[in-house]
Amino acid sequence: MALSGAGSAAADEEFEPPSEIQNTGLTPGCLVVTWRHSSSGVFKFTVQVDDRPPIPVDPERFDKEICSLEPGTTYHVEVCALFATENEDRACTQASLRTVDRGVGEMQPSGPLPIPTIDQPIPPSIKNFGVGWRGTYVYDYFIVNYRPEGGPVDHRKHDEDGSWGWQPFDWLTPGTKYYFSVRGCNSGIFGDPCSGWSPEASVVIEPLYGPDTCKDGFVWRDAVPGDHICVTPERRQKVADDFHTAKSRAAAQSPAAHLGDPRCIANRTLPGCSSMAAPSCLEGFVPRAVPGEDVLVCVTPQERDLIAQENANPKQNRVLQ
């Protein structure tokens, strides 16, 4: 039964309450309360049994073990999701849960053990990469299978108990597709009973990029060494062609102007430069303004404007903006 508690949401705004409240514990005198919840914005859960004080639970967890109860007894349990709003709005669900009787604490649930489910989508970033899962039953440990596409299956044992988990992987190959599945297991005297395997979930690990890496279909402009503005291959070829035709577009008032002598362009006070006319372009052409370029390259006004636009957005078309 879903309820609204103190600081409940306004009538025109609804907050999702926890659902599927269950006891998955097998210890007499204890409840392992589990629930499901998919809304964002929760900063904590609370679990209250009868008139006991509510117990806070981290928003990443969906289970809480509560002991010091009577075996074989039904308790009133309320699970609330508290949202990070001005009034700390909450949405609650109530359920009646019964602890197991004495002498049956080693019982397994009837039928096959519940299969956990992998959280999807799996984040593809290689940094802090891991696979998470959750279920409705508390296990002693989990086994996570993983395999690269076309490769062999390997596994990791996740030794933490609970109804959910997260297993980090720090040696996967960037740019490779991997498949993952998980099963839960309980420790036993005569073998460890386990659930079936979850359906496989897959993800392509993102390649590692440098800060200047271009998106697919783009290349460095390379007007000068270190020019890492990302443009199309056609644009890079145009920029290179303009460089190779620079001399034919420069006015020939002086050797320095004709040759685009970088010494004189950089410093007119050098010997042999002071009497030379400043380098200039033929009529209809203008100097392009590429940062770091120390020779005169004459282009059309339209090309100069396009160069300026590219210079103004140096991170455009990069993988990492």
Report domain extents, the chain. Answer: 2-98, 117-204, 219-312
* Model confidence pLDDT, tens digit, residues 57-75: 998 888 888 887 888 899 9
pLDDT-derived band at 4, boundaries 50, 70, 90:
low
* Model confidence pLDDT, tens digit, residues 179-213: 999 999 888 776 678 888 999 999 998 877 777 88
**Tokens standing for 184?**
């839960």
Q: Decide: 120 and 153 in contact? Cβ < 8 Å.
A: no
User: For the residues 246-265, what does the mean pLDDT come to?
Assistant: 61
CATH number of 117-204: 2.60.40.10
Nearest one of 267, 244, 307, 300 to 279, comparing CA atoms: 267
Which residues contact residue 159 at a Cβ distance below 8 angstroms, ignoring those fewer than 6 apart? Answer: 141
Q: Decide: 122 and 203 in contact? Cβ < 8 Å.
A: yes
Homologous superfamily, domain 2-98:
Immunoglobulins (2.60.40.10)
Does 117-204 match 2-98 at the fold level?
yes
Can you tell me the distance from the alpha carbon of 288 to that of 306, in angstroms, rounded to the nearest whole number? 9
pTM for this structure? 0.40
110-122: burial string, b at 16+ Cβ within 10 Å, e else: eeebbbbbbeeeb
